Structure 1
């Protein structure tokens, strides 16, 4: 199963766009302390490697001794019919000039390195994570709407989508994700 996930991680974004990756905002005062904790996936663009599961959540954890940030992804594995987790290390590419531009690596699989960013967040209800990958012709994008609650009120998703629209990110490619199994873990 892990091998299938590894192979699929090479397939980053499947929503193609013309031209270069658009400019995105830098959150100069990005607050890791407020961002830490669990986020539940609500909507996203299609991402091939996530087809192995449903009910994805991500928990950002700070090691008190080293200060390092990790991201533990939990999901219901549709092949194994059980909860699975995958933990990676998160680093800011430019911690002082662009602290919301991040890199996710997996120590057990050194060939995997994914760049993404926190596009916008209110820290308490929703966050928008985003990745843009240049291609020889055009680029691909991934967008995730994550929330603190596994079953947020409608207005929380509405605020997140309104923010995406204001940033010029197309919401028509967002797909609602299965959240029914969050009660299992």
Structure 2
């Protein structure tokens, strides 16, 4: 009796996950909004304010000018990443996704792609900073994305997470806005945060 009840519960949970994913993929969000599926929750975010975008622009500019390799960047690339618990695969859109140009990961990519070849993702905190600090950090670590750069506007700090292992990053370096933070290979330069807001 217990095994049958457990099998029925597992079947219902799997069916719920399938429906949730189908509903998510069928969403039509207004222009400028973005929808993500994070640990079983559909999250719809409004267009960001200017300072949010300014921080992204400052990072993109430096990565393009200072990196030791040529890179491709995307600010709206959907990534399919492993989820925690028993939830369906997460579908997240980092504020910035960076990959070596030679890999051409964005070239013929579908709207939602696997993160293979992605070297760095970045998030700039907004109304719900805990998602960027916790849920997305774990998503990116589970995916094996080597570097996660978090620009935390609430705390006026920049954190670089590296060395993903299982569900989290093993190493982190954190600086206050205004300081530099070293981006390791493949970028190999000091990121200036003096103009972050």
What is the TM-score normalised by the length of structure 2?
0.29
Give the greater-gyration-radius structure (CA): 2
The structure with the greater share of residues assigned to strand is 1
Which protein has greater RCO, CA pairs closer than 8 Å, 6+ apart?
1
What is the TM-score normalised by the length of structure 1?
0.30
